[in-house]
Structure 1
Amino acid sequence: MLSLLLNGIRNGNLDFGAVIAEILAVLVIIFLILPFHEWAHAFTASLLGDKAVKGRGRLSLNPLSHIDPMGALCMLLFGFGWAKPVPIDPRNFKNPKVGMAITAIMGPIANIVAALAGLLIYYPIILFTGAFPLSTIGGYVVQFLSFYISCNVGLAVFNLIPIPPLDGSKVLFVFLPDKAVEFFYRYQMYFFIGLFVLLYVGVLNTPINWVSNQILNFISWLASLPYMPFVG
């Protein structure tokens, strides 16, 4: 987001249409997808036995129940952000570790489902209308969908990193002894800061991009299946 704007200003070829397309995609993610991500956590937790999530107001798709102002601002400026985490009591699950892992992984799965929905719109546009010049309404719609899809996949992969408080850590904890889990929780802020340092210096770019591409390739294949009879 911010890099696109700054690079355009620096190079003297700022495309306001592309910037608007990305801003709209980010707004859709902030007001629809991040709440969907958190709702998926709450809904799964409720199914597994934590009925208190409904009383906490989180078993809802209302953006006001989920949006974190700082996370939304970071999403607008940097292309990644967060919503308010859903408070979950693992003691309400038959198996607390497994219940937390299943609840946690449903958030990233919600992002992948959202990306798949975007691809199901993207493919018929490309297939039945052909390629649009970039600086046209059709071109901006395609850019909006492309950014929306890639951003959802990126958020899913980022949340699957096994470092607390990210969702992937809850999956990792299933395989760790309680003392190790307590250690991770005790120092989770330091782990999280370390994660952002690694992201800033680019150490994690290659594995994150590789995993993102694998997921994107798979859901692209799934989304293309209904349109296979029209190809060729």
Structure 2
Amino acid sequence: MESILAKISVMLVPALLAVTLHEVAHGYTAERLGDPTARLLGRLTLNPLKHLDPIGTIALLFFGFGWARPVPVNFANLRRPRLHMVWVALAGPLTNLGLAVISALLLRVLAQIPDGVLQDGGMASRMFEPVKLMAGFSLYINIILAVFNLVPIPPLDGGRVMTGILPPRQAAMLARLEPFGFMIVILLIFFTDLWRIVLSPAISLMVGILAGPQTYLVDRAIQFLLAR
């Protein structure tokens, strides 16, 4: 039980921030571009309970990919619906990328603290080691969310982007997949090599680029969370 609580304490804040700010970014961008729907429905809030999808959150924590309750956007209200739909869709993954960059910078700062300070069993050790694990997990989970959401199948953000930039006929054909989008993505992940050949290498590459010499701290966080 103590081990489970320790893992939850490491995962909870980074996961909630990643999911909540992703959705708020969609709603805020939509409002700036002409659609106040998210604000009117109370979704422009940092209260994570307004954004969490129970199944999507469990999937994110246990399987490495997941989703939140999408912020409602009325694309007809946008001043330039097709173009602005692209920016609204990109706002979420770009926010996760920004959080990943902040996490990577924090890891680099923490890595400068001498190991002896963190291994003496004192207050510094008890304080900084969990922060390292949280920063490593934050980098990892935000990269996962950015990459996963850019899969070009609606209603994922990548699908919205493709719908906005494809010619109208092809965009309409892609949009018709939206009711089945999540099922299609789940089937692709579990029954094809999409994760192994495309998504996992992309995630590893971006983590390596951002974390640099501190990639081992991300690995340490993952190993801590996977340990029994």
Same fold (TM over 0.5): yes
After superposition, give the CA deviation of every residue in 1:54-81 in whole Å (9 maximum; x if it has no partner). Answer: 1111111111221222222323333332
Which of 165, 168, 172 pairs up with 1:178?
168
Q: 2:207 corresponds to which residue?
A: 216
* TM-score, length-scaled by structure 2: 0.78
Structure 1: segments with no counterpart, 5+ residues: 1-15, 224-232
5 Å matches for 1:1-232?
20=5, 22-130=7-115, 137=126, 138-201=128-191, 203-204=193-194, 205-220=196-211
- Quick one: which amino acid aligns to residue 70 of structure 1? I
Total equivalences in the alignment:
206
- Quick one: which amino acid aligns to residue 199 of structure 1? I
CA distance in 2: counterparts of 1:115 and 1:24, whole angstroms: 19
**Runs of 4+ residues over 6 Å off in structure 1:** none
Q: Judging changes above 3 Å, is the alpha-carbon distance between structure 1 residues 183 and 154 closer, same or farther for their aligned structure 2 residues?
A: same
CA distance in 2: counterparts of 1:169 and 1:130, whole angstroms: 45
Secondary structure in structure 1 of the residue aligned to 2:96: helix
Please, what is the CA RMSD of the aligned residues? 2.7
CA distance in 1: counterparts of 2:192 and 2:13, whole angstroms: 27
After superposition, give the CA deviation of every residue in 1:199-226 in whole Å (9 maximum; x if it has no partner). Answer: 11351122213322343344346x9xxx
* TM-score, length-scaled by structure 1: 0.77
Q: 2:223 corresponds to which residue?
A: none
Could you tell me the percent identity over the aligned residues?
Answer: 33
Q: 1:4 corresponds to which residue?
A: none
CA distance in 2: counterparts of 1:142 and 1:21, whole angstroms: 13
Secondary structure in structure 2 of the residue aligned to 1:81: coil
Structure 2: segments with no counterpart, 5+ residues: 215-228
- Quick one: which amino acid aligns to residue 143 of structure 1? L
